[in-house]
Structure 1
Amino acid sequence: MESSPRILVLGYRHLGDSLFLTPMLRAMKRFAPNGHTTVLAHGIGAAVLEGNPHVDEVFKVSGRGMAAKFSHLTTLRRTRYDIGILAQHSLANAVFLWSVGCKQRVGIDSKGCGLFLTHRVLTMGLVHEVTRYLKLAEALGANGDSSGLEFFTTEADRQSVAQFLFERGYDLQQRDGRPLIALFPGSSQQWRFKRWPADRFAQTGSRLVMQHNACLLLLGGPDDRDAIDEISQTLTVPFCVVDSSHSIGRLAALLAACDLLITNDSGPMHLATAVGTPVVDLAGPSDPRRTGPYGAGHIVIQRVEPGSPKQWIDAPDPQLPMKAIGVEDVVAAAVEQIAKTRLV
């Protein structure tokens, strides 16, 4: 391998998927410290990696689909990449990586991708997506990595969050035994049936405030407005609504300040794990073994057999897996988590 390899990683546009790449990117930088790593990413996926010290360049792609990527083919070919990493596993992406002209191309050997790869990784059984990406780095000679997801907050974002909370009566320097707990009741529009019922979020939040003197934050963006409104109208305890859509860096700093995040399976869940905040994951139909909170110290609550969420789209009651999770279960898990920080 070149002493200063030029590395191209085909990244993502989603928050969680992009965070899943961070252990692999860290492993590659350790393996080739003088290398130059470029990640091809879209939207929020690009924002997630822009401050990552293990990424030298984020190549932003506007638009969606393969046409958007191929529109940059000439520019990418000029760089003459030594290594291409097929994180986005599909035949079209394998063809694209081959078309860029990467000398070495690593990816999972399935869906016909192997024809366009120089380093083929055998398909794996039931493993977390993070493990899958790490196997790609290992195929190139890098050592494994078990340090978890990463997101790097800035001092400006941390100070902004501290001031925001102080103005609302919560001093991060003097918590006075009050746990700072965030609720994220939302999801993408595609996966709305993966939401825990809003009234149960409200009941859980109320109990944590009344019984454990918690300071309650309600997180959400425009897509989550209906859930936020329903919870806001139901809560009878003090709380603060935070628009989580403005800045990924500010959201990360806010989650880092929290003692706990209670959340549906979502991007913010993975962001919380990346900044070291304990999570209670309301998993519903998702399979946490593949896409759950990565690393130790988190609690997953699931009352149905894990599988593909897609199997519930046309079910008579798509929300059945979420309705099976009770308030008592979530409150107990929350108390267990914040007890670890001696705030209960």
Structure 2
Amino acid sequence: MDPKNSINTIARKAFGHLMGCFKNKIGEAVSTNDAIERILICRPNHRLGNLLLLSPLVQELESTFPNSEIDLLVNHSCAIQLYQNYDNVNNVIVFPKKPFKSPIKYLRALVRFRSKNYDLAINAVMESCTGRLFTSISKARFKFVGDDDADKTERHIAKQVIYSLREFLPSIGVISNDAIPPNLDLRLANEELIHGGSLVYDIVQNAHPIICLYPNATGTEKWWLDLYGHLQKVFPDVNIIEILPKENSPTIGVGVPFLYANDVRELAAIIANTDVFIGPDSGMMHLASSSLTPTIGLFSVTDMEKHKPYNEGSVAIQTHGLKINELIVLVENTLYPNIST
């Protein structure tokens, strides 16, 4: 067995046993929501999608504690960029993804983390052992690490923490929110959207609707070529473009216009200027959802109920046994929601 895999397995088992030791901390209740001024969200993860999935929780905290400052504990500095238009987000504490390869950076981040006092610390994902650990060792008056006995009716990873937190907050004297959980939202500024629109127009040169495809990492080239051919046939007046990571070559080819950007916000602004995004469960899918573009998420391995896009006009579909014509109907309903198919 690979020694690295053995160490990871042992570490996961050890953390699994420790999870039961991490409990919510409830002190003397506050008299008003305004007493919660400094908040920490713990999501020690580096993946783009997981960092974007924090945005509904951040919006929930803004609504519940409008005068608060929010710090994010993560494993990737791109969170600074993702939340730059969130006025309540004050600091982003970045731990290295691999602490043993960057011990000095890790210790500096740990010192910075431990130097701060908070009124409320929140573990953003209950199943995260490291999230529970950081929440537990934070210098916070109240700590929400997760509730194993909470109602699991809501399975979506972005919504679950919101509903669980709402059950916890009254125990510390806070009046919780009761609105529908917010969508993912990157809060693109008008100038970003205008810039993204100009990049898209430079490619399509018309005002027709635009289908955005992200074929990376899902299906085969043949499957995407088949889908492209069907889309061309059914929607002859619709533009089709491909979004791709900058290091990749276009998957579809055959003269399909493609766009990429080094800047994640610029890429989101490009997608925001399209009418429907089609792609696999990935950071790019969540980026499309965060741009508020109707998104068709393709799922084959990951849990669809936990990660599906849920902004207006978005749907998720399992690819096992999926027929192209079924996907075409979803695209048509998304492009033309007020027209019966």
How does the TM-score come out when normalised to structure 1?
Answer: 0.76
- Look up the match of 1:329: 326
CA shift in 2, pair 1:4/1:82, >3 Å: closer
Q: Is the 8 A contact 2:209 2:275 kept in 1?
A: yes
- Structure 2 matches for 1:1-344, cutoff 5 A? 1=30, 3-11=35-43, 12-41=45-74, 42-65=76-99, 71-89=108-126, 90-110=128-148, 122=150, 124=152, 127-138=155-166, 139-140=168-169, 141=174, 142-144=176-178, 145-171=180-206, 175=207, 178-187=208-217, 195-212=218-235, 213-222=237-246, 225=248, 228-229=250-251, 231-232=252-253, 235=254, 238-244=255-261, 246-302=262-318, 321=320, 324-340=321-337
Q: Is the 8 A contact 1:281 1:293 kept in 2?
A: yes
Letter in 2 for 1:51: N
CA shift in 2, pair 1:148/1:92, >3 Å: closer
CA shift in 2, pair 1:126/1:166, >3 Å: closer
After TM superposition, give the deviation of residue 102 of structure 1 in Å. Answer: 1.4
Give secondary structure in 2 for the equivalent of 1:39: strand
Q: Is the 8 A contact 2:162 2:181 kept in 1?
A: no
Give secondary structure in 2 for the equivalent of 1:108: coil
How does the TM-score come out when normalised to structure 2?
Answer: 0.77
CA RMSD of aligned residues (A): 2.7
After TM superposition, give the deviation of residue 4 of structure 1 in Å. Answer: 4.8
Q: Is the 8 A contact 2:227 2:324 kept in 1?
A: yes
Q: Is the 8 A contact 1:3 1:34 kept in 2?
A: no
After TM superposition, give the deviation of residue 222 of structure 1 in Å. Answer: 4.6
Q: Any unmatched runs of 5+ in structure 1?
A: 111-120, 188-194, 304-320
Q: Is the 8 A contact 2:135 2:145 kept in 1?
A: no
Give secondary structure in 2 for the equivalent of 1:208: helix
Letter in 1 for 2:329: A
Letter in 1 for 2:87: P
Q: Distance in 1 between matches of 2:130 and 2:92?
A: 21
After TM superposition, give the deviation of residue 251 of structure 1 in Å. Answer: 1.3
- Look up the match of 1:316: none
Per-residue CA deviations over 1:179-238 (Å, capped at 9, x if unaligned) read 211001124xxxxxxx12222222222332343222111111156x26x24x11xx3xx5
After TM superposition, give the deviation of residue 153 of structure 1 in Å. Answer: 1.2
After TM superposition, give the deviation of residue 341 of structure 1 in Å. Answer: 7.0
Q: Distance in 1 between matches of 2:133 and 2:316?
A: 38
Q: Distance in 2 between matches of 1:64 and 1:88?
A: 20
With 140-149 and 269-278 compared, the bigger mean Cα shift is at 140-149
Letter in 1 for 2:209: P
Letter in 2 for 1:285: V
CA shift in 2, pair 1:70/1:83, >3 Å: farther
How many residues of Structure 1 are paired with residues of Structure 2 in the alignment?
Answer: 294
Q: Percent identity, aligned pairs only?
A: 19
CA shift in 2, pair 1:29/1:137, >3 Å: farther
